[in-house]
Amino acid sequence: MLRKFSFLYLTIIFLGCSPQKEPVAIDLNELTVADIHAAYKEGQYTSEQLVAAYLERIEQENNKLNALTVINPKALEIAATLDRELEEKGVLRPLHGIPMIVKDNFNTKGMETTAGALALKDFIPEEDAFMVDQLVKAGAIILAKSNMAEWAFSPMHTESSTFGTTRNPYNTDHVPAGSSGGTAAAIANNIGVIGLGTDTGNSIRGPSSHCSLVGFRSTLGLTSRSGVVPLYLRNDVAGPMMRTVEDATRVLEVIAGYDPQDPLTKYSEGKIPDNYQQYLQKDGLNGARIGVLRELSENDPNPEIKVLFEQAIQDLQSLGAEIVDTVAVPDFSNLRRNQWCDMFRQDIEDYLATYVNRDTMKTLEDIVRVGTTSEYAREGVEYFLTASGRSPNPEIECLDPYTDERRIAFREAIEKRMDELRLDAIIYPSWNHQPALIDSFQTQYRGDNSQIIAPHTGQPAFTVPMGFTSGNLPAGLQFLGRMYSEPTLVKLTYAYEQGTLHRVPPK
Catalytic residues: 103, 179, 203
Q: Are strands 99-103 and 141-146 parallel, antiparallel or unpaired?
A: parallel
Q: Are strands 68-71 and 194-199 parallel, antiparallel or unpaired?
A: unpaired
C-alpha–C-alpha distance, residues 256 and 138, integer Å = 13
C-alpha–C-alpha distance, residues 99 and 404, integer Å = 39
Asked if 450 and 202 count as a contact pair (C-beta separation under 8 A), the reply is: yes
Asked if 239 and 204 count as a contact pair (C-beta separation under 8 A), the reply is: yes
- Segments of 230-389 assigned E as strands: 237-242, 289-292, 322-324
Asked if 217 and 204 count as a contact pair (C-beta separation under 8 A), the reply is: yes
C-alpha–C-alpha distance, residues 27 and 190, integer Å = 10
C-alpha–C-alpha distance, residues 272 and 268, integer Å = 7
Asked if 184 and 147 count as a contact pair (C-beta separation under 8 A), the reply is: no
Sheet holding 214-217, edge to edge: 68-71, 141-146, 99-103, 194-199, 237-242, 214-217, 461-469, 473-480, 425-429, 289-292, 322-324
Residues 6+ apart with CB under 8 A from 87: none
Mapping DSSP onto H, E and C, the string for 177-209 reads CCCCHHHHHHHHCCCCCEEEEEECCCCCHHHHH
Query: HSE (CB half, 13 Å, CA atoms) of 95?
Result: 28
Asked if 239 and 276 count as a contact pair (C-beta separation under 8 A), the reply is: no
Asked if 327 and 292 count as a contact pair (C-beta separation under 8 A), the reply is: yes
Q: Cα torsion for 92, 94, 100, 104, to the nearest 10°?
A: -140
- Segments of 36-77 assigned E as strands: 68-71
Closest CA to 180 of 232, 240, 226: 240
Instruction: Please state, as a whole number, how many other Cβ atoms lie within 10 Å of the Cβ of residue 469.
Output: 18
Segment (H or E) for 397: none
* SS3 (DSSP) at 54: helix
What is the distance, to the nearest Å, from the Cα of residue 265 to the centroid of all Cα atoms in its chain?
18
